Structures are given as C-alpha cells and as structure tokens.
Amino acid sequence: MNAIPVIAIHGGAGTIVRSAMNTDAEARYHAALNEILGAAQRLLAGGGSALDAVTEAVRLLEDCPLFNAGHGAVFTAAGTHELDASVMDGATLEAGSVSCVTRVKNPVLAARRVLEVSDHVMFTAAGAEAFAAAQGLEFVEPSYYYTEARHQQWQKARGTLRTMLDHDAATFAFAGASEIQDTPGEDDPLDPAKKFGTVGAVALDAHGHLAAATSTGGITNKQAGRVGDAPLIGAGCYASDATCAVSTTGTGEMFIRMLAAYDVAAQMEYRGVSLDEASHDVVMNKLPRIEGRGGLVAVDARGNVVLPFNTEGMYRGYARVGEAPVTAIYR
C-alpha cells in the first residue's frame, strides 16, 4: 500500500533577530504557510498528482508578498527583478526550468510548461519569455514584483555589497542574500541581512509519485544575469521516485557547487542511507564546509519528510492528507 500523500514547503531560511520578533508577523507567516499547505493538501486528497501539488503550492507562494518569489521578489543591482524557477517530476525524471525572467507572472508555471511541452529542460531570459508568451502564460509589468519594503532593503544592500564583492563567494552570497522585510524593522523575525528567500515544495501523491518545485527572486543586489541554484536541476530542485524529492533555499552559489538537491538523492541511492541521514549530511556537514548556509525540504517514497537547515530559522511546513498542517519558523 502506498504511503499517505504529503506536501512540504519552505519560504526561505536565515538568522533570527530576537529583538525583531513580532507575534503579528509570525502569525502572518504561519497563516500563509497553513493556507498554502491546505490548498496543496486538498489537491492531494482528491487524488491530484505530486507534480500538480508542488506547482500549485509554489504558485501560491509566488503570489504571496511575504516571500521572495514572484510578487515580492528582491531587486538586482540594476534595480530590476530577475526570477528563476524549476520543477521536476520524480515519476518520469522530466524537468523544466526558467531563469532570469522579468515579466512572467508565475515563473513556476513557465517551468511547468517547459517540462510538459518542450524537448528542452531550461530556457533563460528573452528566450524563456518568448516560450512563456507562446504558451499563453500571464505577463505582468515589472512593477508587479515591486514591494516598497524590498526596495528599501535593496537600497541598504547596495552600499554594503559593493565593499564585499571582492571577498569570497560565500561572503558575497551571504551578504547578497539580504532580504526584505515587508514592514522593515517590525515585520520579520529573521535578520534581513542574514536571511535567504526562495520558495519551494516537495510532495508524495497517492500513486506513490514524487515531485519538487523551487522559485526565487534570487539574492538582493545580485548582478544582472546571475543565475542561482533554484532553476538548476540537481542544485535547487530534484525529484526521483527511486529516492526522494528535494527543494532548497540558501546561498545559491554553494548549493550549485555541492549539487545539493541531487546529493541527497545520490547518497540515498549509492550509500543506501535514509532520507534523514542523507539530507543531514548535505545540510549540516557538506554545505557548511564551503560556507553554504540555508536548508531544504525533502520527502521520500515512504512519506518520510525532513526539513533541515543550518541557519537559525527557516519558514517551513508540511501537511499529510487527513492530518492538520504543521508550520514552523525557528529551530
């Protein structure tokens, strides 16, 4: 018999500023996570596929301004928004992704169309937008992604990042990951200078299939054209029914160098270890060795769910069909 269907999501990881804790803000994050888990849970309960559940969960996370993806995405150094997204089907190993899109309302839907109709896996920039337009996807003005809070955060990050660019990639990514508070100073319990924002989902469906999806605005003040881990299959997103489905968040450069998402699956396959052991090794041992900070959510074919992170907090949650969703922010 198949395991109970389950969805797990994340909305970014980082360092908690205890002084900035605010119960209203926390409640808003919990409410948003709960609502999105509930929607994906209903889909799975109705026999929906894991692929549909992760696509829908990430679409809703993109639409929510609390998270750095879609509406509410961070700014590049050029003052623009460039979005990355990916999706992978564990049943078929089909995948789709887009990077550096600037006008597609929901990048995850573009990634999904790439998976479904294209012979290719990844489109970038103008080519990705031309593909999305040909697919009839919804386009928005770049101002759609704008939030005042993220704009203010970018203004702050501009100065500091310039002085840190000559440092190593870890410092760059860490500093660049400065993220926006939606009401700066009071709304977000995570230190804006040490918080990563990306959204993602993994799911197991009633048919025993796995899927993963990831979407992000990237890191604040990133150089135009920079591509992070989120749209790279194997780095920020991976799914195989044989092992697990993984979606990551954190310092993208290190997740790329570590092939973080695939490494979890590879360790399960080649070392025969559990999902828990494999993901713990990647997040707590291997990534920190190259100063990789962040976390991931993952699920295996038995319905085991893990949500490890090496920062002080990560917006996260999971919901099994028939059970109340569980959400958390801190360790």
Is residue 234 involved in binding ligand ASP (CB under 6 A)? no
Per CB under 6 A, the list member of 54, 132, 219, 260 interacting with ligand ASP is 219
Least Å distance, CB 249 to ligand ASP, is 4
Binding residue for ligand ASP, selected from 192, 197, 308, 317, defined by CB under 6 A = 197
Contacts of 199 (CB under 8 A, 6+ apart): 9, 10, 11, 12, 58, 61, 62, 67, 68, 69, 214, 215, 216, 249
192 touches ligand ASP by CB under 6 A: no
Rg of the chain (C-alpha set): 18
Least Å distance, CB 217 to ligand ASP, is 8
Structure tokens at 103: 């006008």
Answer for which of 157, 230, 306, 307 binds ligand ASP (CB under 6 A) is 230
For residues 44 and 53, give the distance between their C-alpha atoms in angstroms, rounded to a whole number. Answer: 7
Q: Does 145 bind ligand ASP (CB under 6 A)?
A: no
**Residue 284's closest CA among 272, 274, 296?**
296
Question: Does 198 participate in catalysis according to the annotation?
Answer: yes
Q: How far is the CB of 103 from ligand ASP (least distance, A)?
A: 19
Tell me the per-residue interface mask from 258 to 297 with ligand ASP, x by CB under 6 A, - otherwise: ------------------------------------x---
Residues in touch with ligand ASP (CB under 6 A): 12, 177, 196-198, 216, 218-219, 228-230, 249-250, 252, 294
Catalytic residue numbers read 198
